[in-house]
Amino acid sequence: MAKISFGENITTTAIQMANAFCAVINGGTLMQPYVVDQITATDGTVILDNEPTILRRVISSATSQTMRTLLESAAKSGNANNGQVLNYSMGGVTGVSRKFEEDGVTPSRTRVVASYIGFLPANDPQLVCMIVIDEPQVPYMEASSIGGYWVSKIFSDLVQYYGILPDLTTKTGTVPDIVGMTAKDAVYTLGQAGFKAYAVPSEDTALVVSQFPAGKEVAPSGSIVILYTNMTTFNDDKLYKPQVAVPNLIGKRRQDAFDRLAELGLLLSFDKSQCTGLIDTQSVEEGTLVDPGTTIYITFPSPSPSPTPEPGTTAKPEVTPEPDQ
């Protein structure tokens, strides 16, 4: 029940989530979603013409206004501020849900689904965008931020396409180029420039090898810059974990491979429709050094088809001769 209360382990599609989100921000009415707007024949005859259809009211207009204000605040100065669009007011919220381990019950500590949903303009919503990223390769604590960057990029194009006029002036800044600095110095430098960044204590002396957004890009002030160091690992232990060597899995049973990889902090994945017999291939060669949390994909041999007897014949049972006495 604790997990259900904040949405984890609930299966829903992106369009269902976007539809519910629209009801929260549009004044409180749940609409019938549709994908195709209109279908016309080659002669111009309209075959299908979808129109907005109200299903029912789910919250009051006053509550909807309050939610828009809260979501705008989250996008302006909260953990959803990576979705900001220059010179447009908007609202948004982030989400991170863990996947399950091999047993189908235990939430994974490294494999997550990150999402971001936003809308603009904040005072008169016209566009909604939701981005879902499966297992983003960013430090765990940054997973909630990564989707906002792409929502911002998409919105920046859509406002031009639909001719939506700017409604404010966004305070911006130029992201410092901090590649080559220690993580501790990079966080300080970004903070002085009006941006946010995080580095766990074990990475303070590590060197930054990449950043996102890149140095010298213009971005909304206060937005998060993701750091990658030469010690970055994708786990939520907030501790550096050295790379491990991938073991040989060829010829092993599935459970034996799972147990061996689990000992090393690695993950196993395979096609569940064909997973009998002994492993015949693995996606990462034996001895390759990888980060903890890396997924190793394996395959199994295809089952051999049973021979089909010719018409009019009867398969003869095999007879095993007895050994000589």
The domain of 92 spans 1-36+48-169
Residues 30 and 133 reside in one and the same domain: yes
Query: Where does a domain end: 135, 169, 203?
Result: 169
Q: Which DSSP symbol is given to 43?
A: T
Give pLDDT, residue 109.
Answer: 63
Q: How many C-beta atoms lie closer than 10 Å to residue 116's C-beta?
A: 26
Could you state, in chain order, the average pLDDT of each consecutive group of 10 residues for the chain (325 residues)? 58 88 95 92 92 94 95 88 88 84 68 88 93 76 73 92 86 90 92 84 80 85 82 53 85 91 86 86 91 86 69 58 57
Q: How many C-beta atoms lie closer than 10 Å to residue 142's C-beta?
A: 22
Give pLDDT, residue 144.
Answer: 64
Give pLDDT, residue 238.
Answer: 45
Q: Per the structure, how many domains does the chain have? A: 3
**CATH number for position 27:** 3.40.710.10
Q: How many C-beta atoms lie closer than 10 Å to residue 145's C-beta?
A: 26
Residues 162 and 187 reside in one and the same domain: no
This prediction has a pTM of 0.62
Residues 22 and 165 reside in one and the same domain: yes
Residues 134 and 259 reside in one and the same domain: no
**CATH number for position 267:** 3.30.10.20
Query: Where does a domain end: 133, 151, 169?
Result: 169
Residue 310 tokens, joined: 């010719």
Residues 280 and 220 reside in one and the same domain: no
Give pLDDT, residue 214.
Answer: 85
Q: Which amino acid is at 92?
A: G
Q: Is the dihedral of CA 62, 63, 67, 73 positive or negative?
A: positive
Residues 135 and 249 reside in one and the same domain: no
Cα–Cα distance for residue pair 100/113, rounded to 1 Å: 11
Question: Among the residues of 44-110, which ranges form H helices?
Answer: 61-77
Give pLDDT, residue 239.
Answer: 47
Give pLDDT, residue 175.
Answer: 92
Give pLDDT, residue 9.
Answer: 57
Residues 148 and 255 reside in one and the same domain: no
Name the burial class of residue 126, with classes exposed (0-12), middle (13-18) and buried (19+) by CB atoms within 10 angstroms of its CB.
exposed
Cα–Cα distance for residue pair 82/76, rounded to 1 Å: 9
Query: Where does a domain end: 153, 169, 185?
Result: 169
